[in-house]
Structure 1
């Protein structure tokens, strides 16, 4: 079966034979890099993840971006656990670009299978995808895949280093390796001899790499599972942490850029003479649109304030981008018309939905809609670059360093190895740094600086108005209940733009061939656990000129709102408790049922009818969702305060994310995702006026403020399973949980985001 599939994939003859042979090989190792790690004097590299210095410090190489999710701490824990290092000696550093750091599980996570789907086809496809990602993929931070992907290789890296240190000590002491052990950064022997990691590192680096390192029994873990504090926390407190915006190489110049108001536009003509005459201005010139971005006029100056102020005196005529003439009403009309014409590709179906609907005692229909959303990360878009002597140094905060390096090299006409891309901490990304438009743009600007480094910094309005937005999406439901209120038919079709197709086109020049197989647009709809006898779930993708990208939790961010809100509508129509109704659809999904029951217990669940607390009306809503391998359930308590102002009082959240590597990080990410999702549910929307984005500041694209934030209670389910995604998994359920609570409170069903209700501002805290 494998040979036949690979033969067909590769074509006939020699190409097919090569593909067959490649497929039959075991996956390549992920421990030793293609080139030795750079080391400082007194430092030795034991593999692609571990360096040990003679002062006993252990540096763990980080091949994923730290953008507030705590992955550097979690990944360092994996290595330190297997290495038996002293946690106080652990340091982290950014890894170079190398194939061993390719993100394998993110590719597997994008395969079009339901989590509970089994069979030979899925097994072979996953095998092939893992090999493909390891050999031809890229290093990427996204899809809540970091711990999932590196759980095995980083533990193996630590275990290999431990074995090599033991081997070095045994050789020096002329004893058997089996007689030695490691404890907190030292190798010990029964005779009383001991040596620190630093004393053994140089000799250990000359030891052979173990072929099959022995990993610890989880029952013996002493670090994994503990709520350790963030490894970079102290540097963020004392200001020594370096984000992209903090890069200050010698001789630095600064650049700002005025970009076409309509997305994807370019410069027709401009007059920069007045700007060029301003004190401190070095250069004024036009810049093309790169990697799906927008063209503009750049100003290089001695400082950023001069560069930004010079933009005000530019005279520019634009070639309008493809969004010209577009507005929100037109977008909704296009989406609606597309679903009128076709339900699209069926991602999941079984039974006979039409026949079941015909015999249903009750038929319920609904339509839901969500708008475009910006990422609006706290750190605005920036990049620093220096082009000198045929090489490039790029200081970038990016989620895709290899892709960025590739496009920089292409722009400059040099080899990728001549581009030194230095990864920085990221002040929030949420998917925006999966794009490289701003990096290539910054390099194009620095190319005009005669060898001096240039930092290109976007203003907040530029960041907000030149994003790659979460797609607008429309979803339609039709379901049937029998006379006993049992769900017997479910038909759901949604429509949006394709993210994967457009991302691949602008970054790899792979054209859309119309296969309509972007799983991310339907994730959160077709892959949920509810057991239905007759079901059809499909998605249609359409072309719209708005640039779209990966936004935190991607398709789950809106499909969960659609699905869980409509499930609640069915529970009401069936005259059943919303928790009990969901539980009746999870008889074969014990993991999901356990999470649902846990959140019901945490919240003291009662039927979500309005009740009074000292004269204030309260209600609860519930939602359950699986995303990125984790199962999350939430109950929200809302009330209507004086002046009909909505107050979200408490959010109860239960999460099963597999083995909890660091409960402290998990709680932080769950709380952050809930606040992020609340902001989108209650406030945020991108508005188009004649093709230009209206919103420019947080005052217009608002976030939940401290005095609006609910108390958040998080319970982490115990598990021995493979760790799963956390950073995005808790976002999807919050919008439907609030919507369902609002219905219980007001009798009004909110089917469009944001809810645009008046919010109560009072004292509230976020807590665990």
Structure 2
């Protein structure tokens, strides 16, 4: 079938005005095969500097947060519609979502729609980083226009062939019909003629009325990879295989910054199947996404490589972080949180409000390091032939992998191909392609032979890019009615910037904009401060990132203030949010705003109120609870989406916690695939429970103390809520901007749970994970 071949964009093709849709030359692109192929791109950024990829810029995001992505859409002679997806599918369903957006406007037969995964190539496809919950919201209107433009071109081709007016022709289910004459043609029969037509101007393309959508917003199609995944046919990184392939694992320094002083591989080389042992150099500064260094064992099987690694005799220099201790570092963070820090938002006079208030309340909240722990550990296959390195891997940032591999091998990027498989989870870990470089270096050491580099779960837990540890200190002054007159929040946490620049010890704008400085409460006097916090491990992206500690602290503190005021916590939270209004985030000092235009994406407190009201109403807020049971609620705005969680918690006489029911409400704007939104919210609840109850990475002598899922506990099926209800707040206007979905569900889960625990027991939880705190 012609829809499977790979294609490239000829150098002669210029972007259409505004950088929208280009009809790529059929002959130049497909070598004479009959097909219609469109290349779609987002408009260029107004500021050229903003569009340039950067390792780590002022906005705090890697590789250029400003998107300029492109996608190819083709219709082959047999009518197959192929969409090339440059973003990675981690289970969030982006491959399906993009197909839905285009197929609906194209009026394509869903059975004929195929998705091809793009390789890492930023020049061809634009920014390919799959992060920030933005792959759908940044593409929605552009994908619709692409599908509508292709549909119009097919109609024009039929009208020209039949000699009839455009208005008499209808396209539906991959067939173009002329009712008056009874003639019809399939898309495949028209693709060649349509490819010879000019692409219609954007203003001439009429999008469908949302009431006529067949796929968008319906949630009835499943996912394009569903059969392959459920039957085991889907390929992940560890599934790639070649005849004669070798296998590798790496012994890495247990302490971040550690190096190999010396090693003896004599016993390792005696292990049956071990072929070679090589040293991998430690990273240069700044570390970014480079491998940690160490010693790689290459063998004829993964098992042999692992047994050989056990026999390595390595003398390590633990380096500058050898004394890192979680408990001691927490005390340092708490000390910093109790002193003034860098002011990142200030309005009114907090000191005056505190000085005159009849009552003051303060609290400190702690969130430990966390590991992304995707179910599929990191793996990559590398093979070098004729000076060209081919990679097969599960990665969130294929272009970053390509660039890093090229640099480490000393070749041009054109000599590196990164083939992206499905991802068995990522949560930010697979946006850091250190493991891909390790595979390439091992292949190089074996004269280009194919090598599969595999991380174990222990490797993942011990050598990750961890979510930051955090201490959040909040203080508030209350008036006679218990309403805050002043609000002080000090957030102390090592920053992701620490892997990009020496001396980075303050949270960056994108971290501060995750629920801290853009806190929308109607409080007259507010000050946020950010004291310094050095990093002693690699800090990286984690699902919802700094929203986790900020939401946990703020939403827990609101419930504490409600108790101090003798008020219902849900009513008190809504009163703090205030009446429905639209807030320019820049007026709060948030110039990042999740990378979005504040005019298109202001903070809408009415939408935040609605998700809180929806979740709390659904769970039966205010109903009489039996002894040991309580309800808690929390709401949060992140990734330009509004979510709220209401949780029912039961605590028995021994302090054991169960969570029988959770209701989660989300307003993400227009919905492309509601079923995947529900799945993401259900997953967010289960993941958020794990963060609240059991998950923690602790360090002693610079070493992670957890090894596998016996120590780093995730929520298991027997502990998951028996009932998770997802409430999608629909926004009927599909011309409205979309919000994110993959990440916003996590932040309100933990505070809703601890607030419910207080309602059930009267005991306040201020540190995560809860573990046995209620059993003490």
Question: Of 608, 620, 625, which residue of structure 2 is paired with 1:611?
Answer: 625
Asked whether the equivalents of residues 49 and 154 of structure 1 are also in contact (C-alpha less than 8 Å), the reply is: no
CA RMSD of aligned residues (A): 2.4
Alignment partner, residue 260 of structure 1:
253
Query: 1:154 aligns to what?
Result: 143
CA shift, 1:755, in A, is 0.8
The 8 Å contact of residues 656 and 774 in structure 2, kept in 1 or not, is answered as yes
Pair 1:220 & 2:212 matched: yes
- How has the CA–CA distance of structure 1 residues 322 and 167 changed in structure 2, closer, same or farther, with 3 Å as cutoff? farther
Contact 2:472/2:549, CA 8 A, preserved across alignment: no
The SS at the match of 2:137 is helix
Per-residue deviation at 1:682? 0.2
The answer to whether the 8 A contact 1:528-1:625 is kept is no
Indicate yes or no: 2:274 matched with 1:270.
Answer: no
Q: How does 1:101-180 map to 2 (within 5 A)?
A: 138-180=127-169
Which residue in 2 is equivalent to 1:182? 171
From 743, 750, 753, the counterpart of 1:728: 743
In structure 2, C-alpha distance between the alignment counterparts of 1:429 and 1:34, rounded to whole Å: 37
Tell me how far apart the structure 1 counterparts of residues 633 and 682 of structure 2 sit (CA, whole Å): 17
2:310 aligns to what?
Answer: 312
Distance 1:513-1:268 versus aligned 2 partners, 3 A rule: closer
Q: Secondary structure at the match of 1:305?
A: helix
Aligned counterpart in structure 1 of residue 730 of structure 2, from 698, 718, 727 = 718
Q: Is the 8 A contact 2:383 2:390 kept in 1?
A: yes
Is 1:77 matched up with 2:100? yes
Q: Distance in 2 between matches of 1:696 and 1:514?
A: 28
Does the C-alpha gap of structure 1 residues 659 and 370 become closer, same or farther in structure 2, counting only changes over 3 Å? Answer: same
Matches within 5 A, 1:587-602: 587-588=579-580, 589-602=605-618
Judge conservation of contact 2:477–2:484 (CA < 8 Å) in 1: yes
Partner of 1:580, secondary structure, is: helix
Shift of 1:97: 4.0
Q: Is 1:485 the counterpart of 2:474 in the alignment?
A: no
Deviation at 1:355, TM superposition (A): 1.1
Q: Residue 515 and residue 214 in structure 1: after superposition, are their counterparts in 2 closer, same or farther (change >3 A)?
A: farther
- Equivalence for 2:54: none
Shift of 1:522: 5.0
2:703 aligned residue (688, 692, 696): 692
SS at match of 1:538: strand
Which of 79, 86, 108 lines up with 1:63 in the alignment? 86
Q: Which residue does the alignment assign to 2:654?
A: 643
Following the alignment from structure 2 to structure 1, what is the Cα–Cα distance between the partners of residues 79 and 653? 61
Is residue 410 from structure 1 mapped to residue 410 from structure 2 by the alignment?
A: no
TM-score scaled by length of structure 1 = 0.86
CA distance 1:39–1:698, shift in 2 (3 Å) = farther
1:435 is aligned, of 432, 437, 448, to: 432
Structure 1 stretch displaced more, 395-404 or 674-683: 395-404
Say whether 1:379 aligns with 2:376. yes
> Partner of 1:624: helix, strand, or coil?
strand
**Is the Cα–Cα contact under 8 Å of residues 390 and 418 in structure 2 kept in the other structure?**
yes
Inter-partner Cα distance in structure 2 for 1:627 and 1:335: 25
**3-state DSSP of counterpart to 1:322:** helix
Say whether the 8 Å CA contact 2:498–2:504 is kept in structure 1. Answer: no
Answer yes or no: is 1:582 the counterpart of 2:579: no
Larger deviation, residues 336-345 vs 63-72? 336-345
Aligned counterparts of 1:34 and 1:100: Cα–Cα separation in 2: 18
Residue 285 of structure 1: SS of its match in structure 2?
A: strand
Q: 1:708 aligns with which of 712, 719, 722?
A: 719
5+ residue gaps, structure 2:
1-15, 40-70, 284-288, 581-604
- For residues 116 and 482 of structure 2, what CA distance do their matches in structure 1 show? 57
Distance 2:524 2:387 in 1: 64
Shift of 1:526: 1.8
Alpha-carbon distance between aligned partners in 2 of 1:574 and 1:706, rounded to the nearest angstrom:
38
Equivalents in 2 of 1:174, 1:759: separation in Å?
Answer: 79
Q: 1:759 to 1:342 in 2, by over 3 A?
A: closer
Q: Give aligned pairs, total.
A: 690
Residues 611-649 of structure 1 show CA distances to partners (whole Å, capped at 9, x for unaligned) of 32xxx5211111011111111111111112353321111
Structure 1's 101 and 222: CA in aligned 2 closer, same or farther, altered over 3 A?
A: farther
**Pick from 368, 392, 415: which aligns with 1:395?**
392
State whether structure 2 residue 194 is matched by structure 1 residue 204.
Answer: yes
Cα distance in 1, alignment partners of residues 643 and 630 from structure 2: 20
Distance in 2 separating the partners of 1:514 and 1:577: 39
Question: What per-residue deviation string (whole Å, max 9, x for no partner) do you get for residues 156-197 of structure 1?
Answer: 221222122222222332333343221011122232221111
Provide the C-alpha distance between the structure 2 equivalents of 1:251 and 1:415, rounded to a whole number of angstroms. Answer: 27
Q: For residues 386 and 314 of structure 1, do their structure 2 counterparts lie closer, same or farther at Cα, with a shift above 3 Å needed?
A: same
Match of 1:299 in 2: 297
Q: 1:40 to 1:587 in 2, by over 3 A?
A: farther
CA distance in 2, matches of 1:673, 1:357: 37
Gap change, CA 1:37 and 1:418, over 3 Å in 2 = farther
Query: 83-92 vs 207-216, which deviates more?
Result: 207-216
Contact 1:267-1:296 within 8 A present in 2 as well: yes
Partner of 1:342: 340
Which range moves more in the overlay, 36-45 or 576-585? 36-45
Aligned residue for 1:479, secondary structure, equals strand
1:367 maps to 2:364: yes
Unpaired runs of 5+ residues, structure 1, are 1-24, 103-133, 506-510, 761-768
CA offsets 1:194-250 (integer angstroms, 9 cap, x no match): 111111222222322223033222232121111131221110111111111111133
CA distance in 2, matches of 1:214, 1:144: 28
1:571 aligned to 2:562?
Answer: yes
The aligned runs of 1:451-600 (5 Å cut-off) are: 451-499=448-496, 501-505=497-501, 517-585=508-576, 586-588=578-580, 589-600=605-616
Shift of the alpha carbon at 1:440? 1.3
Indicate which of 323, 330, 344 corresponds to 2:321.
323
Q: Show the 5 A alignment for 1:92-103.
A: 92-99=115-122
Displacement, 1:400?
Answer: 0.9
Alpha-carbon separation, structure 2, partners of 1:44 and 1:271: 60
**Once the 2 structures are TM-superposed, how far is the Cα of residue 28 of structure 1 from its aligned partner?**
3.6
User: 1:39, 1:45 within 8 Å by CA — same for their partners in 2?
Assistant: no
SS in 2 for 1:590: helix
The separation in 2 between residues aligned to 1:758 and 1:461, in whole angstroms, is 27
1:333 and 2:331 correspond: yes
* TM-fit CA distance, 1:425: 0.6
2:228 pairs with 1:235: yes
Task: Output the CA distance in 1 between the equivalents of 2:436 and 2:252.
Answer: 15
Compared with structure 1, are the counterparts of its residues 544 and 650 closer, same or farther at alpha carbon in structure 2 (3 Å cutoff)? same
Stretch of structure 1 that moved more, 167-176 or 73-82: 167-176
- Tell me how far apart the structure 1 counterparts of residues 263 and 23 of structure 2 sit (CA, whole Å): 52
Counterpart Cα distance in 2 of 1:41 and 1:554:
46
Distance in 2 between the 1:758 and 1:474 partners?
Answer: 18
Provide closer, same or farther for how the CA distance between residues 321 and 307 of structure 1 changes in structure 2, counting only shifts above 3 A: same
Report the counterpart of residue 113 of structure 1 in structure 2.
none
Distance in 1, matches of 2:630 and 2:178, equals 63
The SS at the match of 2:139 is helix
TM-score by length of 2: 0.85
Which has the higher mean CA deviation after the structures are superposed, 43-52 or 177-186? 43-52
User: Deviation at 1:76?
Assistant: 1.0
Deviations 1:120-147 (A, max 9, x none): xxxxxxxxxxxxxx7xxx3210111111
Distance 1:39 1:681 in 2: 56
